Structure 1
Amino acid sequence: MLLNTRLLHLPWLGGGAAALAVVLWALVPLLVTQAEALPPLRLSALALLAGALGTLPMARQGRNPNAKRNVKEALIYLGVALLIVGAVCASFTAFSLAPAAEASLILYAWPVLFLLASRRLALGRLPATTLAGALLAFSGAALLVAPQALSGGVSGAWSGYLLAAVAALCWALYSLACQVPAWHLGERMPHLLLIASVMTGIASLALEGTISMPSQETLLVTAALGMGPYGIAMLAWDRAMRDPQAHHVGHLAHAVPVLATLSLVVAGVSAPDWRLPVAALLVVAGSITAARPPRGGMGMRQD
C-alpha cells in the first residue's frame, strides 16, 4: 500500500497522464475514419458504451435518497448526457461529410469557445488576450473553409464543417458544466456515457434502421475508440487535473489539433496541404493566447 501511495504522488505522473489523454484524443478523427463501415449514430452509440465501461473506476459510490436531490440529479444527468450526445454524434458525422483533418481542426477549437464563455461569466467582460486568441484560432478554421467559400457553391463538406462547429460548442458547454463543483461530473462519467449511449442507440435505430453485423476489425476499432478517448483518456485527464501542477500540464491539451492532423496525414487519410499545418498552428496559438490570464488575475465563479 505504501508503494502505491508513493506512486500516486510521483512528480511525473500528472504530466504523463495528461500526455496519454492528449494522444488518445488526437486519435479520434483517425479511428472514426477507420470505422466508416458503421453509420455515425451507430458508431457513436457503441463507442459511448465502450467509454462507459472504460470509466467504471470513476463511478460514484453511495447516493443520498433525498427525493428533491434525485430530481436535480436526474436533470443534471439528462442535460449533460445530451451535450455528450451532441458533441460525439456531431463530430462523428462531421468526419463522414467533410475532410477529417479540416473538420477536426474546427472541432478542436472548442477550448477557445470555452474560454470565451467562462471568462465572460467570471469577469462580466472579455479580456483583450482572450479576444485576440479567439480571432487567431477562428482564423485557422477560416483558412480551411475559405477556398470553398471563394469558389462559390455549397457542398456536402459545408454540412460537415457546421456539425464540427456544433460539436465544438457542445464540448465547450460540457466543459462549463464540469466547472460546477457540486455536480461532480467526473464521478458520474460512466453513467453519463451510458445514458448518452442509450439515447444515441435509440436515435440510430429510428434514423439509420438495422444494419448487418460489422466486421471484427470494425468492432475492434470501435472498442478502441470508446475505451481509449472516452475511457482511458477520461481517467488519465481526471488524474492529471488532480495533480499539484495541473495548471501547467493542462496546456498539453493545446497539442491535440496538431497531433490529430499529423496522425491523419501520416496514415494517408488526408493529403499533405500547406493549409493544414498553418491552420493547426493558428488554432494552437489562439488557444494559448486566449488561455493567458488577464491582468489583475481572475477568479472563476463556483456557484
Structure 2
Amino acid sequence: MQLQTPRLTRTTWHGAGAAGLAVVLWALVPLLVAAAGSVPPLRLSALALLAGALGTLPMAQRRRRTEPPLAQRHGVAVYGGVSLLVAGAVGACFASLSLAPAAEAALITYTWPVLFLLASQWLARRRLSPATLAGTGLAFSGGALLVLPQAMAGGFSGAWHGYLLALAAALCWALYSLACQVPGWRLGERMPHLLLIASVITGSASLLLEGVSEMPSAPALLAMAALGLGPYGIAMLAWDYALKAPNGRHLGNLAHGVPVLATLFLVVSGVTPPDWRLPVAALLVVAGSLTASR
C-alpha cells in the first residue's frame, strides 16, 4: 500500500524548495559575472537576458492559463515599464560589479528587500513603523561599513560610481517586486517576453555606449548562458512559484540570506580576499532586512 502525501504538504515543501533554489542562484550572480571576464556590462546583460528569455519560454508556456488579455494601459505598464525595470536592474548590477569590488557592490544591491519593504509599507499605510526604520538603518549600516573606510581614505574614486549603480540596481529590483504584487499582471507567466524586451533595451544601450567588440570567449559565453538560465530565468520563475505557495509570506524571508551566500561564494572561490568587514556587513544587511519585515 502506498501512502498518499496531502497536496497541501507537497505544495508547501515544493514552495520551500523553489525559494531555496532561487536564493542560491541569485547568490551566484557576482561569481558568474566575474567568470564572464572583460565582457562589457551592458553587452553581458543583453546576452544573459536573451538566454533567460529562451530558457524560460517552455516553462512559462506550460503554466499559462486562459484569462482575459491585459488592458491596453496595463500592457504598456507591464511590457514597457517592468521590462525597463528589469533592464535597469540587471544592467546597473553588472556595471556596479565591474566598477566596484564585487562583494561590496553585491551587498549594496541586495539591500533591495529593505527598499521594497519601505515602499510597500508607505503605499499601504502612508507611514513607516519603527521596526521598518530600525531595520533600514541596520541594513544600510552594513553598506556604510564597507564604503566609508574607502571614502575616508581615497575620496571619490571609480568605485563610487559602482556603489551608486549598485544602489540603483537595488531600487529597480524593489520597484520590480512592487510590480509583482499588482493583481492580474502575472509577471511570472510573462517572464520570457519581459526578459526579451529587456535584452533589446540593454543591447541597444550597449551598441550606443560600448560600441562593437570582438566575440566573447567560450568561458564567457558559458557564464552568460548560466546567468540567463539560472538567476534571471529559473530563479525568477521559482521565486514566483514559491510566493504563491501556502507559506509564501514566510518563504519571502529567505531572500535576506542572499548577501551572506553571495559573500561566501566570492570568498571561497578566491574572487574576493577575506576581510572581517564582509561577514559583519552581510549579517547587518540580513538583520536589518529581518527587523524591517517584522
Same fold (TM over 0.5): yes
Q: Residue in 1 aligned with 2:187? A: 185
CA distance in 1, matches of 2:9, 2:187: 22
Distance 1:55 1:70 in 2: 25
Q: d(CA) in 2 for partners of 1:165 and 1:136?
A: 16
Aligned-pair distance for 1:9?
A: 3.0
Q: Deviations over 1:58-82 (max 9, x none)?
A: 244667578xx23531332111111
Q: How far apart are residue 202 of structure 1 and its match?
A: 1.0
Residue in 1 aligned with 2:10?
9
Looking at structure 1, the residues matched to 9 and 51 of structure 2 have their Cα atoms a distance apart, in angstroms, of 26
Give the match for residue 235 of structure 1.
Answer: 237
Per mean C-alpha deviation after superposition, the further-off stretch among 145-154 and 190-199 is: 145-154
Q: Deviations over 1:210-255 (max 9, x none)?
A: 1111111111111001100011111211221121111222211111
Matched with 1:24 is: 25
2:285 equivalent in structure 1:
283
Letter matched to residue 162 of structure 1: L
Q: 1:36 aligned to 2:37? A: yes
Matched residue, 1:52: 53
8 A Cα contact 2:11 2:246, kept in partner = no
Range with greater deviation from structure 2 (252-261 or 147-156)? 147-156
Distance 1:11-1:70 versus aligned 2 partners, 3 A rule: closer
What is aligned with 1:144?
146
Relative to structure 2, which stretch is displaced further, 72-81 or 135-144? 72-81
Structure 1 window deviating more from structure 2 (231-240 vs 156-165): it is 231-240
Q: Which residue of 2 aligns with 1:169?
A: 171
* Aligned 8 A contact 2:27 2:261 in 1: yes
Shift of 1:84: 0.8
In 2, Cα distance between the equivalents of 1:81 and 1:14? 26
Q: Distance in 2 between matches of 1:71 and 1:238?
A: 23
Give the secondary structure class of the aligned counterpart of 1:55: helix
Using the TM superposition, give the Cα deviation of residue 7 of structure 1 relative to its aligned residue in structure 2, in angstroms: 10
Q: TM-score, normalised by structure 1?
A: 0.90
Identity %: 69
Q: Is 1:122 aligned with 2:124?
A: yes
Q: Write the distance in 1 (CA, Å) between the matches of 2:217 and 2:166.
A: 27
Root mean square deviation, CA, Å: 2.0
Indicate the residue corresponding to 1:271 in structure 2: 273
Count of aligned residue pairs for this structure pair? 288
Distance in 2, Cα, partners of 1:115 & 1:7: 28
**CA–CA distance in structure 2, aligned partners of residues 87 and 37 of structure 1:** 20
Distance 1:8 1:51 in 2: 30
Instruction: Say which SS state the counterpart of residue 105 (structure 1) adopts.
Output: helix
Question: Bigger shift: 131-140 or 206-215?
Answer: 206-215
Aligned to 1:74: 76
AA of the residue aligned to 1:86: G
Counterpart residue identity of residue 197, structure 1: S
Q: Are the equivalent residues in 1 in contact too, given 2:113–2:174 (CA < 8 A)?
A: yes
Aligned partner letter, 1:202: S
Q: Conserved in 2, the CA contact under 8 Å of 1:54 and 1:230?
A: no
Tell me the amino acid that sits aligned with residue 110 of structure 1: W
User: Could you say which residue in structure 2 is the equivalent of 1:217?
Assistant: 219
Residue 141 of structure 1, CA deviation: 0.5
Q: Counterpart of 2:49 in structure 1: which amino acid?
A: L
1:208 to partner: Cα distance: 1.2
TM-score (norm 2): 0.93
Distance in 2 between the 1:247 and 1:72 partners?
26
Q: Which residue of 2 aligns with 1:96?
A: 98
| Whole-Å separation in 2 of the counterparts to 1:11 and 1:44 | 33
Structure 1 residue 36 displacement after superposition: 2.2
Give 5+ residue unaligned stretches, structure 2: none
User: In structure 1, the residue corresponding to 2:184 is in which secondary structure?
Assistant: helix
The letter for the 2-side match of 1:24 is L
- Counterpart Cα distance in 1 of 2:72 and 2:126: 32
The code of the aligned residue for 1:221 comes to A
